[in-house]
Amino acid sequence: MTPDIAIVSSNEWPELIALFERCNRTDSIELPLYLNTDLAPTMAAARFGDTLVGGIVMYGYFAIEAVIAVDPAWRRRGIGRQLVEQVARWAQARGGSWLALADEAGACVAPFAAALDLRRLNVEVLLRLDPAQVPPLPVLPPNWHVRLAETDDAAIVTAIIADAFGDPVEKVEAFVADCITNPVHRFVIGEIAGIPVAVLRLLRDEQRVMIATFGVRREQQGRGYGRLLLLTTLHRLLTAGYTDIRIEVEEHNTPAYHLYQACGFVPYRRYGQYGRPD
């Protein structure tokens, strides 16, 4: 049997979200379902008639990161394989690439990947803040200042991010322009003697905050400004009542991993990135 797999409009998202939540409960996992990302994800549904049997959440357009779920009552019928192959076809039609994201805690991840000849290419660790482990703020330099970015700070934020990550200025500029006017996103700038040296981005909803796009100008790295910005921001978030605060890091990025743990973050989930290498 071959299900009908089609991209759906946002009014059908609640049914798909419920499917992902059923899979989370059944498998004791937390699939990476982020609805307040830089660009809204694309969702697709797999159906037999009116019955929803599987779903896909896709982040990105040319470089697709896909999260795939099959209703527990409909597993072992080849639906997962067909969902993966559909993602591959969409990526090929766009002239792009694809990866499948999976919570490594899922018992079915390894056998499923092996059956489809998918290789784990990377692991992102999601860390969650333990407020009890957040160290106190150190004595701050008298010329240290942290503030929320305003719309007219777009050029400053762009310059720091482009320099810190070595990304093309034009792409960073477009990214910042999209985010800086979106109320879900807030950039936080760290300044020393009035000179902006570091930035991070907050993605907020009513329940949690995700910290992302965290960088320090290259010539200012190694001076503790990143740690100062992160700790200052964490203390302000906790004072504001946020307790579910998260950050992601590549598993092999040891310096960043150690910094986040030293600031009170503890590993929460490991997300494998699976694909078929060239």
pLDDT, tens digit (0-9, with 9 covering 90-100), for 211-230: 999 999 999 999 999 999 99
The DSSP code sequence of 20-87 is HHHHHHHHT------SSSSS--EEEEEEETTEEEEEEEEE-SSEEEEEEEE-GGG-SSSHHHHHHHHH
With a cut of 90, say whether residue 157 has pLDDT above it.
yes
pLDDT of residue 36: 64
Tens-digit pLDDT profile for residues 6-32 = 999 999 999 999 999 999 999 999 998
Residue 268 CA, distance from chain mean position: 13
Residue 62 CA, distance from chain mean position: 17
Q: Which residues contact 24 (CB under 8 A, 6 or more apart)?
A: 30, 31
Q: What is the residue-averaged pLDDT of the chain?
A: 94
* % of the chain beyond a pLDDT of 70: 98
Secondary structure class of 88 (helix, strand, coil): helix
Q: Which residue's structure tokens are 């762009």? A: 158
Q: What is the CA radius of gyration of the chain?
A: 20
pLDDT of residue 56: 98
Tens-digit pLDDT profile for residues 218-263 = 999 999 999 999 999 999 999 999 989 999 999 999 999 999 999 9
Tens-digit pLDDT profile for residues 90-104 = 999 999 999 999 999
Q: Which residues contact 1 (CB under 8 A, 6 or more apart)?
A: 48, 77
Reading the block at residue 74, the tokens are 């409909």
pLDDT of residue 158: 97
* % of the chain beyond a pLDDT of 90: 87
With a cut of 80, say whether residue 35 has pLDDT above it.
no
Q: How confident is the model at residue 184 (pLDDT cuts 50, 70, 90)?
A: confident
Q: Which residues contact 154 (CB under 8 A, 6 or more apart)?
A: 173, 176, 177, 180
With a cut of 80, say whether residue 39 has pLDDT above it.
no
Reading the block at residue 178, the tokens are 């999209």
- Give the Cα separation of 135 and 4 in Å (integer): 52
pLDDT of residue 22: 97
pLDDT of residue 37: 59
Q: How confident is the model at residue 3 (pLDDT cuts 50, 70, 90)?
A: very high
pTM: 0.88
Secondary structure class of 151 (helix, strand, coil): helix
Identify the DSSP state of 150.
Answer: -
Tell me the backbone φ, ψ of residue 34, rounded to 5 degrees.
-115, 110
More confident residue, 38 or 273: 273
Tens-digit pLDDT profile for residues 61-87 = 888 999 999 999 999 999 999 999 999
224 and 190 Cβ atoms separated by less than 8 Å: no
Q: How far is CA 135 from CA 8, 90, 189, in A?
A: 45, 46, 21
